[in-house]
């Protein structure tokens, strides 16, 4: 099979998986508690989703400037969670704009 045909088949297959609503990635939750992320590092796979859940009685902000995945979830209060889908492999540094000591790594395989 030539490369273009293989690429087309993969594109059609992933389209079908998306259309069927099947889960394509695992889901993880990382909390923010005591002005820290509840995990220093997690290792996930491409397509997985991480929910960042604020467990502190004050606001946190979750963002990353990493080239693999740049995002800014904004600031949100206790009980709220916001999610990011990681679609490229690499190591992503995650920080909180409100608390400079908060830091964690997400390794996407
Ligand atoms: Cu914070």
- What is the distance in A from the centroid of ligand 1 to the CA of 11? 39
Condensed to tens digits (0 to 9), the pLDDT of residues 30-54 reads: 999 999 999 999 999 999 999 999 9
- What is the distance in A from the centroid of ligand 1 to the CA of 102? 6
SS3 6: helix
51 is in which domain, residue-wise? 25-108
Q: Say how far apart CA 19 and CA 1 lie, in whole Å.
A: 26
Q: Is 2 within the bounds of a domain? A: no
Q: Is 93 within the bounds of a domain? A: yes
Q: Is 63 within the bounds of a domain? A: yes
- What is the distance in A from the centroid of ligand 1 to the CA of 91? 21
- What is the distance in A from the centroid of ligand 1 to the CA of 108? 23
Q: Per-residue confidence at 24, pLDDT binned at 50, 70, 90?
A: confident
Q: Is 66 within the bounds of a domain? A: yes
Q: Is 103 within the bounds of a domain? A: yes
First to last CA, the chain: 27
Q: Is 85 within the bounds of a domain? A: yes
Q: Is 70 within the bounds of a domain? A: yes
Condensed to tens digits (0 to 9), the pLDDT of residues 61-99 reads: 999 999 999 999 999 999 999 999 999 999 999 999 999
Q: What is the CATH number of the domain that holds 99?
A: 2.60.40.420
pLDDT of 1 reads: 56
Between 6 and 92, the more confident residue is 92
Contact between residue 79 and residue 54 where contact means Cβ atoms under 8 Å apart: yes
Q: Is 10 within the bounds of a domain? A: no
What is the total count of domains within the chain? 1
* Model pTM score: 0.78
- What is the distance in A from the centroid of ligand 1 to the CA of 100? 8
């Amino acid at each position: 099979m030539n490369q273009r045909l293989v690429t087309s088949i993969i594109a059609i297959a992933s389209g079908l998986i998306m259309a069927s609503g099947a889960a394509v990635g695992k889901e993880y939750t990382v909390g923010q508690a005591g002005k820290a992320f509840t995990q220093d590092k997690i290792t996930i796979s491409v397509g997985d989703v991480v929910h960042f859940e604020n467990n502190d009685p004050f606001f946190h902000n979750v963002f990353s400037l990493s080239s693999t995945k740049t995002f800014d979830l904004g600031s949100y209060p206790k009980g709220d969670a916001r999610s990011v889908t990681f679609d490229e492999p690499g190591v992503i540094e995650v920080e909180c704009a409100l608390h400079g000591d908060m830091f964690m790594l997400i390794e996407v395989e």
